[in-house]
Amino acid sequence: MKPYSKNSSLIFLFLLCITVLIVSCEDKSGKNTNTTDHNIDKKDSIIVVSEEMVEPELVVTYSIDSLKTSVELDSFKNKYSEAQQKVIYALNRIEGKSVRVGKNLVVPDTLFEDIFNYAPFPKKLNTITDIPKTVLISQRVQGFALYENGNLVKWGPVSSGKKSTPTPNGLHYANYKAKKKVSTVDESWLLPYYFNFMNFEGVGVHQYALPGYPASHACVRLYMDDAQYIYDWATQWELTPNGRSVHKNGTPFMVFGAYDYNSPAPWFQLAENSDCNDLLDSELRTLAQYKAAYDADEKNVRDFREKEQDGLIAMNGIP
């Protein structure tokens, strides 16, 4: 074996320096400080995975606030901001001008400034995921909900038809609309942001006073902001060129449920059961039936079929 040359000694010293540098990169705990994964423990080779924090669902409880005296009424108005008061009024299906001495109000223990947080409707409704836009109107809880592909985008209070002139339940469709319509029942009644969903019966949604119970002549009353939102959001029907028949239906309006006139208003019952205003199984089955009827109506799927046909034509190279 040949003895080490001078060059060999230099190479040995170089390799020794590299080894020292590598060792120095490890801290005293035995962990490599160059690694980007600080959750790997080299000692026991166990990979530690950080658990994602899941925010617990907020549970809201309710109580009844009785404004028995003018002092209590003043205290109520001083206690809550204007935005919070609007939420409380909406939960009670009334307007601020209706609040007076002797009025009972249901009030949530946690007050947000957005009514969306108190929706009695599910945030996701799988039954209607393939419908672009849907309006639900629950007569039982006196509320409406707007869905886009099954996702809740807005809800609010209503006053539907009174006991002698109830709003007809069923699957209806948005027809025509008018920014201001004169009532056919009384010419002195002006109906802002009217959107009809029963053409021949003259039933639709529009702005009008909400007294905290079903009070209309079959139409569905809304707050002004809600009426304007639906007016801009929902889609009208499309008529054939001669205007004598419907080519495509407008946005579906699904009206369901029944108001119980023999029991306290359903929102007051929230004080005993915070889930009692949620959709019932029977109501979900009704909505499923409406969806089946929607799917069976050619006027709802016509656009899709026409687009599909256009695609097939393009694929076949037919001009």
Nearest to 208 by CA among 219, 218, 221, 196: 221
89 vs 49, 77, 292, CA distance in Å?
47, 12, 36
In the predicted structure, residue 99 carries a pLDDT above the cut 80 = yes
Per-residue confidence (pLDDT) for residue 314, from 0 to 100: 39
In the predicted structure, residue 215 carries a pLDDT above the cut 80 = yes
Compute the distance between CA of residue 66 and CA of residue 49 in angstroms, rounded to an integer.
Answer: 52
Comparison of pLDDT for 31 and 160, the residue scoring more: 160
φ/ψ (deg, to 5) at 98 = -85, -10
Comparison of pLDDT for 273 and 47, the residue scoring more: 273
Please state which architecture CATH assigns to domain 119-306.
Beta Barrel (2.40)
Comparison of pLDDT for 58 and 126, the residue scoring more: 126
User: 202-213 pLDDT, tens per residue?
Assistant: 999 999 999 999
pTM for this prediction: 0.78
User: 266-285 pLDDT, tens per residue?
Assistant: 999 999 999 999 999 999 99
* The two three-digit tokens of residue 297, written as one number: 């109506």
Angle subtended by helix axes 281-296 and 298-315, to nearest 10: 50
Comparison of pLDDT for 104 and 318, the residue scoring more: 104
* The two three-digit tokens of residue 259, written as one number: 């108001």
* The two three-digit tokens of residue 42, written as one number: 């080299």
Compute the distance between CA of residue 40 and CA of residue 193 in angstroms, rounded to an integer.
Answer: 62
* The two three-digit tokens of residue 19, written as one number: 């080894």
Q: Classify burial at 135, counting beta carbons within 10 Å of its beta carbon; exposed 0-12, middle 13-18, buried 19 or more.
A: buried
Please compute the mean of the pLDDT values over residues 147-173 and round it to a whole number: 98
In the predicted structure, residue 188 carries a pLDDT above the cut 70 = yes
In the predicted structure, residue 42 carries a pLDDT above the cut 50 = no
Please compute the mean of the pLDDT values over residues 179-187 and round it to a whole number: 82
What average pLDDT does the chain have?
84
- Domain-by-domain residue ranges, the chain? 62-115, 119-306
291 vs 71, 151, 172, 253, CA distance in Å?
51, 15, 11, 11
Per-residue confidence (pLDDT) for residue 1, from 0 to 100: 41
SS3 at position 86 = helix
Beta bridge partners of 192: 180
User: 8-28 pLDDT, tens per residue?
Assistant: 444 445 555 444 444 444 444
Buried b (16+ CB within 10 A) or exposed e, 77-97: eeebeeeebbbbbbbbbbbee
Comparison of pLDDT for 177 and 10, the residue scoring more: 177
Per-residue confidence (pLDDT) for residue 53, from 0 to 100: 65
Buried b (16+ CB within 10 A) or exposed e, 180-189: ebebeeeeee
Instruction: For residue 152, give the amino acid letter.
Output: L
Provide the residue count of the chain. Answer: 319
Please compute the mean of the pLDDT values over residues 178-201 and round it to a whole number: 89
- The percent of residues in the chain predicted with pLDDT above 90, rounded, is 71
How many CA atoms, within 13 angstroms, populate the side-chain half-sphere of residue 127? 20
User: 108-150 pLDDT, tens per residue?
Assistant: 999 999 999 999 999 999 999 999 999 999 999 999 999 999 9
